[in-house]
Structure 1
Amino acid sequence: MNWALSTWSATTLGPSGRPSAPSMDSLMDAAMHGVRNSLSAIRLGVDLLARRGDLSEADAVLEHIDSAAVRAHEQAEELADFCRLAAGRPIAMVAKRFPLHQVVGEAIEARRSSHEAIAIEHDRLGQGEGLGDPARIAQFVRLALEELAPRTASRCIVVSEIDGARFRIAVHAGDAPARDAIETPGQHLARAHRQALLRAIANAHRGELRLVAGASIEGRFGGDR
């Protein structure tokens, strides 16, 4: 996530000098910081529009405002999720039958529109519908791509698979890592945030999350409750 707190200083370091596992409180603080940044960007865009007499640049400013507003909404939802997790409750979801391949495809298209540098392939396996919360499944795809895309040079592969009452979503880095830089505390915190939400979404669907660092993220989701 871009709101990974480049100036974050509250993350403690372990004996090896690498960041230790962040606390739930620090993750909550990071989420709130991101919401504030996005809302500030919206206010700035509105102010710029108010000052301009020439509207030729209005479309670009409005696009900036819309993007920031969408991200602020996502971050607010993530903050609510962390409140539930911190209280020992599962995240909220509304299960129903939904077209898995279509929902995954739409989540990929949304990612493509904002991050054109990474090519994303979508492999569809099996036919039928999944049982779960389509908004949560789209969120799973977005978070998985945010986790892996910065770690790959140019390509990610997304697999959506239906197998009877169960379904699977896997995101693979399609090529060698773009870089092997040491994580900053802020990047470490953002990664922990994403992985906590990915795991919570899988658990809410009575499934499981499988991670291979820098290489793949796989969610296996259960069937009928």
Structure 2
Amino acid sequence: MAFALLAFCQAAQAQDRISTFDGKEIEARVLEVGPEELVYRKWSNPDGPRYRMPLSEVREIRYENGEVETYGAQEDSGGGVGVVRRLRGHVGDYGTDLSYYYEYPSGPMYREGAGLYIKGTHVQAGAVLDRDLYERWRSASNMRFAGIALWVFGASGVCGGLSLDRVHGGEGTAMLVTGGVMILVGVPLHVLANNRLDDITWEQNSRRELGESFSPSISFGAQRHGFGLALNF
């Protein structure tokens, strides 16, 4: 009984979780996160040896207090992309949203779908776009999702209507009309959103010269994840 209680108490304790790009999940106690690597102990052996892991292998750290750090991949060739770090959590009673680079990515950004990339590496839109452009990016991304949803469901409705017509004769007319309208609305909306995302990407590239670094800034107020502190380098 005592052993079971001890095991339960240990399991109930919160732990940090490290997720890597190759799909590993490590239950750990994170001791230090540096510019190039993190240091941790295994949660199952808190007094055991320290382990070191390059940040380029880390996809995400979920801390026991609920804070989350997400990372972008790192390139070393040709002044490549630095590690992207983003922290979402709380400082006291206030929500925080911190996004910054150890090194500003070199090269222009380009869009694939609703994502931004530099030299094949996905980067967080909130970390690389100016605030006004980021708000426009979010709006266009939502529009793109709505457009895709409309024409996908519309196509399904058309297929369903055609099937009903073949089986029951004329009973699928309403589905055909509804599906057709959804396609007519969804496809232009999807195209318009893609054009807006491309325009935002082009404008951000034109605002920054190649390799130009972010100016350090800190702001306190209403942030994307609540009211709190935002730090950008």
Instruction: Point out which structure has higher relative CO (alpha carbons under 8 A, 6+ apart).
Output: 1
TM-score over 0.5 (shorter chain): no
User: Normalising to structure 1: TM-score of the pair?
Assistant: 0.27
User: Normalising to structure 2: TM-score of the pair?
Assistant: 0.26
In terms of fraction of residues, the more strand-rich structure is 2
In terms of fraction of residues, the more helix-rich structure is 1
Rg comparison, structure with higher value: 2
